Amino acid sequence: MKKPLSIVLASMMTLAVMIAGGCANGGAATQTAAPEKTAAPKETPPPVSYPTKTIELIVPFAAGGGTDAVGRVLAESLKSILKQDVVVVNKTGGSGAVGMQEGLNSKPDGYTLTMVTREVTSLPLLGLAPFKTLDFKYVGNINKDPAVLVVSSDSKYKTYDDLVTALKATPGKLKFAASAVPNYYAIQFGQAAKVNFITIPFQGAAPAIIEILGGRADFGLYNPGEVKAQVEAGKLIPLAVMDDKQFPGFTNVPTMKEKGADAVSGTYRGIAVPKETPDQIVKVLEDAMAKAAQDPKLMDFMNKQFLGIGYMNAVDFKKFIEEDMKILQPIVEISKTQK
């Protein structure tokens, strides 16, 4: 059947229009732009259900010492904040290495915390620990104590300048009662003040201080809490602190920096967990430590015991640890030659 001419002509005109449209577009067929893909919204991690049971806090030193005291008062504060028991467990040995390693080997679920001290830095540098300093994930720091330079109240050296003048006048003659060997406080002080002296080693601050009180040693460097009782009794005189600011417990006692010796040293006590611990759990603990640092009961205890409150969050504490590694490295090398 033949189509009417009018229909054929109409079809031809329609085809011509379509061809012309294609040519106007450079010969390419008109394409409808596909809708742009929108990035999928980032998933917000679900809130962590932590803690739900008792937390263990490993203190790598014996009960009764300064680290144990800080650990126990912190545990009480965290218990109140986290609404779960926080139990202190003393794991001694290896100058802290045994307890720290046990904490590092624990399950990374936030239920085993480790109190770390400066030994977390010094022991690996000395090759006396099976772990490396940065194997831990650091939660925060709670306590920071400077070393304090002391003499007996019967000493003829009544000021820092008196002692340093005597040390320079008689190099290698005056006796330093060391609470441990190697003694980083002594090495830093000797380098900064440019003085030499005899180091007498002891196992702990208590016997070393007895030696000073008995007149058998001339001076020593200890943590504030270790000399508190004897200073308050008028038997020891603090001459300077190894810090960049004065220590609140010792009124009008200058820093070594103020006296021209760039020596900052002391100890610190904070919390660390295994590196695989989830960040959400670390954040819960970090926030709890920030609140603990403002706890009136903790603050009162620390102040009365001459334990400095030196809170640092997770980021700042890690940076502090990394900086301390740089400070200790050359001191450790010197200490190896003094064994």
**Residue 150 and residue 234 share a domain:** yes
pLDDT at 26: 40
More confident: 47 or 151: 151
pLDDT at 16: 42
pLDDT level of residue 15 (50, 70, 90 thresholds): very low
Of the candidates 94, 236, 234, the one whose C-alpha atom is nearest the C-alpha of residue 155 is 236
* In-domain check, residue 236: yes
DSSP code per residue over 279-320: HHHHHHHHHHHHHHTT-HHHHHHHHHTT--EEEE-HHHHHHH
How many whole angstroms from its chain centre is CA 23? Answer: 73
Which ranges in 106-183 belong to alpha helices (H)?
A: 119-126, 160-169
CATH number of domain containing 200: 3.40.190.10
Residues 98 and 160 reside in one and the same domain: no
Q: Has residue 305 been placed in a domain?
A: yes
**Residue 36 domain flag:** no
Based on the domain organization, do 157 and 141 belong to the same domain?
Answer: no
pLDDT at site 43: 53
Number of domains, the chain: 2
What number is the average pLDDT over the span 179-191? 90
Q: Is residue 184 part of a domain?
A: yes
**Residue 30 pLDDT level (bands cut at 50, 70, 90):** very low
303 domain-assigned: yes
Helix 314-336 vs helix 119-126: crossing angle, to nearest 10: 40
pLDDT confidence of 22, banded at 50, 70, 90?
A: very low
Q: What mean pLDDT comes out for the span 177-190?
A: 90
pLDDT at res. 180: 81
Range of the domain at 164: 146-242
The answer to which of 87-96, 108-117, 212-221, 312-321 has the lowest mean pLDDT is 87-96
Per-residue pLDDT of 266-295, as tens digits, reads 999 999 999 999 999 999 999 999 999 999
Q: Compute the average pLDDT of residues 37-55.
A: 72
Q: Does the pLDDT of residue 65 top 70, yes or no?
A: yes
Res 203 pLDDT > 90: no
Q: Report the pLDDT value the prediction gives residue 337, as an integer from 0 to 100.
A: 77
- Domain with residue 271: its CATH number is 3.40.190.150
The average pLDDT across 40-69 equals: 83
Task: Please indicate, yes or no, whether residues 89 and 136 belong to a single structural domain of this protein.
Answer: yes
Residues 140 and 287 in one domain: yes
Residue 204 has pLDDT above 90, yes or no: no
